[in-house]
Amino acid sequence: MPVLACALFGAAGAARADITVGIDLSSTGPAAAIGIASKNAIALWPKEIGGQKAHYIILDDGTDPGTAVKNIRKLLSEDKVDVVVGPNITPSALAVTDDVARAQTPMITLVGSSVVVDPQNAKKRWVFKMAANDSAMADVMTRYMSNHGIKTVGFIGFADAYGQSWWQSFSRFAELRKIRIVGRESYNRTDTTVLGQVLKLIADKPDAVLVAASGTPAVLPQRTLIERGYRGAIYQTHGIATYAFIRVGGKDVEGTLFPTQPAVVAKTLPHDHPARPAALAFTKLYEAKYGPNTVTQFAADAYGVWDLLNNAVPRALKHGQPGTEAFRSGLRDALENIHNLPIPNGIVNTSVSDHVGLDQRAGVMGEIKHGRFVYISN
């Protein structure tokens, strides 16, 4: 874990040997809570990556896949970046896959859904992902549900790739653990009411409801459930782990159960958890800048990108200098061969078939208690 350092932003005329990192984030729009956390973490990146001076270019896509495409194309064609970081949301990441593959430039996304990297093919071989897959999170969640007597679940998720990916992962593990899904509903990130969907779910009388959404838009179904008198357990996905979710949700999200990654609950992790040292080091660094209890999964994911690049760049430099096709190809290959690297959200071991590299050590169960994210179980 590097010491606190100021990142270099927006410097014009980067030297030829500089590594140029193009970053697309959702700093505004519905996913702003996620994008802002990512941007805050990136502001802590050191000025060098793998001993090489680094130049960082950050663009905001406004949580709009169309804007994300424009931003990525600019970064690839005009700024000639060596690597792309982002986007924050699954639809945007999917929308730019063709562009990074065509440019043969590696992209490290900050989304949760596994669809951006699985199954691996000629296009997705250029894409990597920081967050643990939905399937890993669904595994942790359904195991906890089963252990705590949950037999029936109602499902409401985003009507996009995020919600669909979670439906596929959750329904598979629910079946494995003999948990019956009694209702399925969907909604859009920008919707202002989900009353109809919630009333249908409540009528099915599930033991628990899972909201498969991310960021502050995930509050709406939960608040509506509470307002309509639902008294069962409410689960969310790892996509809610920002304090903006707690701030917007207030008392309605107290007691929320959710799968998450180590950095979110670093202070309450068991002392023998293998990711605890890196998670705590990042928490100390982040809170020194942004204040107590400000760490989110998305901040930790974004910071972990630097760890991956710092590990991969020295090997990529053996193939060519930054700014060249040889370097970009070498960097892709190096990112695909990372072994036992501690990052704030787990231990990374990537391979040709695994462009995430996180195992079960990257998944824990958390709960919102007294306005804080706390660890409750592996």
- What's the pLDDT score for residue 146? 98
Please state whether beta strands 152-158 and 107-109 pair in parallel, antiparallel, or not at all (unpaired): unpaired
| Fold assignment, 19-132+280-360 | Rossmann fold (3.40.50)
Place of tokens 């410097």: 11
Structure tokens at 133: 């897959």
Q: What is the pLDDT of residues 363-373, one digit of tens each?
A: 999 999 999 99
- pLDDT attached to residue 226: 98
pLDDT of residue 122: 93
For residues 48-63, average pLDDT: 97
Model confidence at 28: pLDDT above 80: yes
Q: How many Cα atoms sit within 13 Å of 97 on the Cβ side?
A: 19
Residue 104 neighbours by CB under 8 Å, 6+ apart: 126, 325, 328, 329, 332
For residue range 177-233, what is the model confidence (pLDDT) as tens digits?
999 999 999 999 999 999 999 999 999 999 999 999 999 999 999 999 999 999 999
Asked if the peptide bond before residue 314 counts as cis, ω within 30 degrees of 0, the response is no
Task: Please check the confidence at residue 361 and state whether its pLDDT lies above 90.
Answer: no
CB neighbours of residue 122 within 10 Å:
7
Task: Say whether pLDDT at 253 is over 90.
Answer: yes
Q: What is the mean pLDDT of residues 284-302?
A: 94
Question: What does pLDDT average to over the chain?
Answer: 93
- For the chain, domain boundaries: 19-132+280-360, 134-260
Class of residue 134 by CB neighbours under 10 A (exposed 0-12, middle 13-18, buried 19+)? buried
How large is the average pLDDT for residues 124-142? 94
Share of the chain above pLDDT 90, in %: 88
Confidence band of 241 (pLDDT split at 50, 70, 90): confident
CATH fit for domain 134-260, picks 3.40.50.2300, 3.40.50.2020, 3.40.50.300, 3.30.70.20 = 3.40.50.2300
Q: Could you check whether 19-132+280-360 and 134-260 share the same CATH topology? A: yes
Report the candidate in 219, 228, 225, 266 with the shortest Cα–Cα distance to residue 247: 219
Q: pLDDT value at position 243?
A: 87
Q: What is the DSSP string of 6-48?
A: ---BS-SS--TTSEEEEEEE--SSTTHHHHHHHHHHHTTS-SE
The predicted model gives 281-292 an average pLDDT of 96
